């Protein structure tokens, strides 16, 4: 706690003082550009990863970056999603999983959680589609390779769960919303984004091939250089 109080003092005397105009503007309302959904894991810092300023991202965090399907639960995730899209007008959603995810480790041995951590057990049931997909399609995987496959599959599961929300389905159909699946590797700082056309995770910058700073040839080379699916 002492460390946190010291940090609070540094924030108030340094960062806040230097950015007083920004916080005055933020006090008048929020206009985030992105809904960022990620894990509660203490090693994940969305603003640090993306170098976003306060007010730029609306963030949902929980164990396993899980968004239950529409009407599956009365938890706060659904309410936060609706608010972000309907009230704040957000047009970009990112679901970000990460390496060494404890929730996904638990999902792979979910039967052991029922007695020791019943709340976690019930929560991870919302990722049952992930567990079944991994069981059926990754039988030859084990260890870290299996865990990473599970984490990446879970991101895709949550993208599908998001599509069950009427407000998201409607915005996607009208082209007013985009959703993205990310995988963050803690030990390297690397982030990969799922490319539906290629059916693999690739560096995020390859999703902007029409931008002036990257040609189709460069995109192809980058995609070939990514060996992780």
User: With the C-alpha atoms ordered 116, 119, 122, 123, is the resulting torsion angle positive or negative?
Assistant: negative
Residue 41 assigned as binding residue: yes
Q: Which residues contact 49 (CB under 8 A, 6 or more apart)?
A: 184, 191
Pair 50, 108: CB distance under 8 Å: no
Residue 101 assigned as binding residue: yes
Please give the Cα distance from 48 to 46 (Å, whole number).
5
Pair 163, 93: CB distance under 8 Å: no
Bridge partners (DSSP) listed for residue 58: 35
Residue 223 assigned as binding residue: no
H or E segment to which residue 115 belongs: helix 113-116
Helix (H, G, I), strand (E, B) or coil at 128: helix
Q: Residues marked as binding?
A: 39, 41, 98, 101
Q: Residues marked as binding for Zn(2+)?
A: 39, 41, 98, 101
């Amino acid at each position: 706690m002492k460390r946190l109080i010291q940090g609070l003092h540094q924030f108030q005397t340094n960062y806040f003082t230097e950015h007083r105009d920004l916080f005055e503007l933020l006090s008048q309302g929020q206009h985030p550009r992105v809904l960022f959904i990620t894990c509660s894991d203490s090693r994940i810092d969305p603003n640090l990863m993306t170098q976003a300023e306060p007010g730029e991202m609306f963030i949902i965090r929980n164990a396993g970056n899980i968004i239950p399907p529409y009407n599956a639960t009365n938890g706060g995730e659904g309410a936060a999603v609706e608010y972000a899209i309907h009230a704040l007008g957000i047009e970009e959603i990112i679901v970000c999983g990460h390496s060494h995810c404890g929730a996904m480790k638990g999902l792979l041995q979910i039967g052991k959680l029922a007695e020791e951590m019943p709340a976690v057990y019930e929560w991870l049931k919302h990722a049952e589609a992930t567990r079944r997909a991994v069981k059926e399609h990754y039988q030859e995987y084990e260890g870290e390779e299996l865990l990473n496959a599970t984490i990446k599959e879970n991101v895709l599961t949550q993208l599908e769960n998001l599509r069950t929300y009427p407000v998201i389905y409607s915005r996607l159909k009208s082209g007013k919303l985009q959703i993205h699946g990310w995988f963050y590797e803690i030990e390297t700082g690397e982030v990969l984004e799922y490319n539906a056309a290629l059916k693999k995770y690739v560096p995020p910058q390859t999703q902007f091939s029409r931008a002036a700073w990257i040609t189709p040839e460069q995109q192809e080379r980058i995609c070939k250089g990514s060996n992780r699916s």
